[in-house]
Amino acid sequence: MRFTVAIDGPAAAGKGTISRAVAERFGFAHLDTGALYRAVGVKGGDPVEAARALCPADLARDDLRTGEAGQAASKVAAIPEVRAALVQFQRAFARREGGAVLDGRDIGTVICPDAEVKLFVTASAEVRAHRRWLELGGDERAVLADVRERDARDMGRADAPLRPAEDALVLDTSEMSIDAAVAAACDLIEARLR
């Protein structure tokens, strides 16, 4: 069975947590596409060459979840040649046998526009910044400024800007528990699998 779940949204909205839970619940493979861009960003050097040479070991680095890696990912993701180098990998993963969940910023709009389920997970900038601050620490005001800067860059880029697909279910997690958000996502997937 080939079944693709596309989950998009801004940083710290909960899409990664929801994606992993959904993949586990349905036995689907999971790909955090942001890790691809984080890996390219932290490799340094020419980002286009880094994207073309990306290997599984690059995705296993333990520095991919840092704030610096997130900012680097957002910057290299704005380069059309980097995006192009990673598209085929993502599309092949999405159509693998047994089902797949991909989370990122352009899965439902660019990578998998024909996905069987599309979710756009969001939350207010303040809630997302607080979550990120709890994860990374530091100055919470600076984290909020970083979240807003990243949102502007991700939503304003010319190539594959962050936005919900026209047929995506928008899931605002600002006031939701993670259990409620996962349940809502699972209910939608369950309905499409019938």
In the annotated binding site for ATP, the residues are: 9-17
The tokens for 177 are 């528990």
Alpha helices in the chain (DSSP H): 15-26, 33-43, 47-52, 56-59, 67-77, 80-94, 125-136, 140-156, 178-193
CA atoms of 105 and 10, how far apart (whole Å) = 7
Query: Which residues have C-beta within 8 Å of that of residue 94, sequence separation ≥ 6?
Result: 4, 6, 31, 100, 102, 107, 111, 112, 115
CA atoms of 4 and 117, how far apart (whole Å) = 7
- CB-based contact 112:94 (threshold 8 Å): yes
User: Binding-site residues, please?
Assistant: 9-17
Provide the 8-state DSSP code for 45: S
Q: What is the C-alpha R_g of the chain?
A: 16
